[in-house]
Copies of this chain bind each other. A is one copy, B any other.
Amino acid sequence: MKIRRADRLVDMTNYLLERPRKLVSLTHFAERYDSAKSSISEDLTILKRTFQERGIGLLETLPGAAGGARFTPYMTREDAAEFIDELVEEVSDGTRVLPGGYVFLSDLLGRPEILRRVGRLIATQYLNDNIDAVMTAATKGVPVAQAVAEELNVPFVIVRNDSKITEGPTMSVNYLTGSSKRVEKMELSRRSLPTGSSVLVVDDFMKAGGTIKGMMSLVGEFEGTVVGAAVFAEGLVSERVVTKYTSLIQVDTLTSDGEGITVAPGNYETEIFGE
């Protein structure tokens, strides 16, 4: 049964949104809707226009017999700035400061509507990069990694401090925690990550960057390439062991009175969109 254009547009939108960065052939759509390829091409023009006007993402259409469409979600600079401002406001709350100057963020990183945009924002940064996997450290980096992996449509892998019997053979590295200068160990299941992968490293919070640096060296052990490092929040420290990274927000706690917190946009906007 031939499908009306209106119905095709709705289903095609859902179909492409569920498959970021995958090329879907014209033939596939033509068969799915029992429609001519020329009609499908017209549909894709409408989708492309609306995706662009609404800041949903990029729809690339490849012409010809082997042609098709590939949807890459992104966030516009305007939406990015607005979202980062929203995060700054949410985190600027003295009751988030914990003893030792730590900041409570678990509520934010457990809210789907926040995570979706965190993932979208970080993925935007790697719009033109080839990424095979996202890597993070257990436990609190996981939601960020999953959100980014969904937008990139690639697997994510979880590095752990404690080896679990359900992970099988692991590869491990020792790393120096940046702030306390302790030597610790992190491990990744051998089977999680194919050798030679291009990896994006993400985490929820970075201080001196010891964990990020550890993950980077783990990527090396898997003979992979680090495409970049991105964190949700960075703390203010005097010295960092990682220099190339992006952060969405920057958090400074005044441990002297145990209450004060100063939050500002991280380096994301400047790094990605320029001054």
Contacts and interface: CB of A to CB of B under 8 A. Distances in A.
Contacts of A153: 112-113
A110 B157 contact: yes
Interface stretch (A49-57, A74-82, A83-91): A49-57
A49 B154 CA distance: 31
A122 B140 CA distance: 23
Contact of A10 (B46, B110, B164, B166): B46
20 contacts: A9-B9, A10-B46, A11-B50, A14-B56, A99-B165, A104-B189, A106-B158, A106-B189, A106-B192, A107-B155, A112-B153, A112-B156, A138-B138, A139-B142, A139-B160, A140-B164, A142-B142, A143-B146, A146-B146, A166-B205
A204 to B, nearest CB: 9
Contacts of A18: 116
A112 B147 CA distance: 9
Chain A contact residues, majority secondary structure: mixed
Q: Work out how many copies of this chain go into the complex.
A: 2
B104 A155 contact: no
Given A11-B50, A142-B139, A143-B146, A155 B112 contact: yes
A158 B146 contact: no
A15 B189 CA distance: 38
A164 B140 CA distance: 10
A18 B114 CA distance: 12
B138 A192 contact: no
A98 interface: yes
Contact of A142 (B116, B143, B154): B143
A126 to B, nearest CB: 15
A66 interface: no
Interface in A134-149: 138-140, 142-143, 146-147, 149
A138 to B, nearest CB: 4
